[in-house]
């Protein structure tokens, strides 16, 4: 399958080049030429299939033309060596728990898949010394770093905003060593993202270094996130609750919800989506006005959603041919303050004995407010609450048990390099490393 840029100046790019490049030379994001619709027979029997079987079917539609079947199957099955359960919370509301992977966040799916697919292409080409640049507001860094840890020929640079990720999130990518370098940027997530994008656009830098991205701007990162939407539907169908399905996605850089929209285009019977924002409600405002007006991000207790200029918005526009009307027909929005997020988290715990993380709290609240009586709602619980330990404990007034996986990360020694938010400083660092 060939890929084109959302800026329309580049097309006919192979999957391999799209994955390795990360970002198109015209500064657009890569999109597949076609989105294959899956057959009715697949959906008729989806509730009898395992997560890995479902994911392989979807992966084959995305990547089967470009990756050998046995290799693709191996990548999928190695990526998804953990469960993604759908848990009933209250009434017609369900939580899709995406935090049972190695770093306890939804990005384990995309991060692990991409690391393996990139490794496949690097081995195929016989290339070495590929540099992966990833900006993170928390969970992306840990998922990507752990996905690529120890992979020969690849060095990962994780850029994160100083003081703006939780201590537990930070220790998941600053304590690894080996081929992982953590860069602590004196700025916001948007600054980190800008540095990564600028690096891809710098001719001098790219002439001397082989660069790629592991953010959701990379097709190998965001497309695999479609897997768990299909699996959520399969679990609903097994429960007899697969009619009029509404999915609410806590949204930051919009890679996750974009993957869900791809799933819908492939035939997954989702009635509609809700994009839940914190105070960084650029998309919500777009829905109201039809105007996209990015602005500097603000810090919130749902820090992974602190994005003032969501990269994947261009993909959403592309999917719907720029039609504000078409987007509004399938996606609605919600936005919440820190106080509203906190009160929702606390109430859900007290009333339902279900502990949310701050991002999941946004999704849960949006469903409670916007779900109709005849609909079945699923919100994405994107990370384990313990990853936001101080915040969650302060809200509920109780200690939160830290999973063993996180405890192991916390034993390591933090190693990071402080850099400014100025691109020339970042460029100089990369060239001299």
Q: What are 247's strand-pairing partners?
A: 273, 378
Q: Any residues with CB less than 8 A from the CB of 358 and at least 6 apart, and which?
A: 300, 301, 302, 303, 341, 342, 345, 388, 391, 392
With 90 as the cut, is the pLDDT of residue 22 above it? no
Average pLDDT over residues 213-233: 91
Residue among 60, 46, 383, 366 nearest 229 (CA): 46
pLDDT at 127: 64
Task: Place 142 in a pLDDT band, splitting at 50, 70 and 90.
Answer: confident
pLDDT grade for 124, boundaries at 50, 70 and 90: confident
Please report, rounded to a whole number, the percentage of residues in the chain having pLDDT higher than 90. 76
Average pLDDT value for residue range 28-56: 97
Instruction: Determine the Cα–Cα distance for residues 218 and 29; give it in Å rounded to an integer.
Output: 8
Task: Please report the pLDDT score of residue 204 as a whole number.
Answer: 92
Please give the structure tokens belonging to residue 296. Answer: 């500097």
**Could you give the percent of the chain with pLDDT greater than 70?**
99
Q: What is the mean pLDDT of residues 253-276?
A: 97
Q: What integer best gives the mean pLDDT of the chain?
A: 93
> Is the per-residue pLDDT at 405 higher than 80?
yes
Position 262 scores a pLDDT of 98
* pLDDT for residue 251 is more than 70: yes
pLDDT digits (tens, 9 = 90+) for 49-63: 999 999 999 999 999
Q: Supply the residues annotated as catalytic.
A: 107
Question: Residue with structure tokens 């990005």?
Answer: 107
Whether the model clears a pTM of 0.85, i.e. scores above it, the answer is: yes
70: left (phi over 0), alpha (psi -120 to 50) or beta: alpha
- Asked whether the CA dihedral 285, 286, 292, 294 is positive or negative, the reply is positive
Most confident of 104-113, 198-207, 260-269: 260-269
Condensed to tens digits (0 to 9), the pLDDT of residues 345-393 reads: 999 999 999 999 999 999 999 999 999 999 999 999 999 999 899 999 9
In CATH, the architecture of 78-105+222-402 is 3-Layer(aba) Sandwich (3.40)
**Domains of the chain, residue spans:** 78-105+222-402
Reported as a single tens digit per residue, the pLDDT across 306-348 is 999 998 999 999 999 999 999 999 999 999 999 999 999 999 9
Residue 239: what pLDDT? 97
Q: Is the pLDDT of residue 126 over 90?
A: no
Q: What is the mean pLDDT of residues 399-408?
A: 91
Interval 282-312: pLDDT, tens: 999 999 999 999 999 999 999 889 999 998 9
Q: What is the mean pLDDT of residues 270-275?
A: 98
Q: From edge to edge, which strands make up the β-sheet containing 30-32?
A: 13-14, 2-5, 30-32
């Amino acid at each position: 399958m060939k890929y084109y840029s959302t800026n329309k100046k580049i097309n006919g790019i192979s999957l391999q080049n799209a994955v390795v490049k990360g970002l198109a030379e015209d500064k657009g994001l890569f999109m597949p030429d076609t989105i294959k619709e899956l057959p009715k027979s697949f959906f008729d029997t989806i509730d009898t299939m395992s997560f890995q079987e479902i994911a392989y079917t979807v992966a084959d539609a995305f990547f089967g033309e470009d990756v050998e079947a046995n290799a693709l199957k191996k990548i999928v099955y190695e990526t998804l060596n953990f469960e993604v359960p759908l848990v009933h919370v209250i009434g017609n509301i369900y939580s899709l728990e995406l935090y049972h992977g190695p770093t306890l966040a939804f990005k384990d799916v995309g991060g692990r898949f991409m690391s393996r697919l990139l490794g496949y292409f690097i081995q195929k080409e016989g290339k070495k010394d590929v540099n992966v640049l990833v900006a993170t507001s928390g969970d992306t860094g840990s998922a990507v770093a752990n996905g690529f840890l120890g992979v020969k020929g690849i060095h990962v640079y994780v850029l994160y905003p100083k003081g703006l990720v939780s201590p537990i999130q930070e220790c998941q990518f600053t304590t690894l060593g080996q081929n992982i370098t953590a860069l602590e940027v004196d700025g916001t997530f948007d600054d980190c993202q800008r540095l990564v994008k600028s690096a891809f656009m710098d001719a001098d830098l790219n002439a001397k270094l082989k660069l790629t991205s592991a953010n959701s701007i990379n097709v190998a990162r965001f497309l695999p996130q479609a897997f768990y939407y299909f699996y959520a539907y399969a679990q609903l169908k097994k429960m007899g609750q697969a009619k009029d399905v509404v999915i609410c996605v806590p949204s930051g850089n919009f890679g996750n919800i974009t993957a869900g929209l791809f799933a819908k285009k492939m035939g997954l019977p989702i009635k509609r989506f809700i994009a839940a924002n914190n105070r960084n409600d650029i998309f919500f405002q777009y829905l109201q006005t039809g105007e996209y007006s990015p602005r500097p991000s603000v810090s919130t207790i749902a820090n992974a959603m602190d994005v003032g200029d969501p990269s994947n918005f261009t993909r959403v526009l592309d999917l719907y041919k720029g039609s504000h009307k078409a987007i509004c027909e399938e996606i609605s929005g919600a936005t919440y303050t820190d106080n509203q997020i906190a009160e929702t988290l606390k109430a859900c715990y007290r009333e339902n004995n279900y502990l949310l993380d701050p991002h999941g709290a946004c999704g849960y609240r949006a469903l409670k407010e916007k779900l109709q009586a005849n609909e079945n709602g699923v919100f994405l619980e994107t990370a384990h609450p313990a990853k936001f330990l101080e915040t969650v404990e302060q809200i509920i007034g109780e200690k939160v048990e830290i999973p063993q996986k996180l405890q192991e990360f916390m034993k390591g020694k933090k190693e990071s390099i402080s850099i400014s938010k100025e691109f020339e400083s970042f460029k100089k660092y990369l060239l001299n490393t």
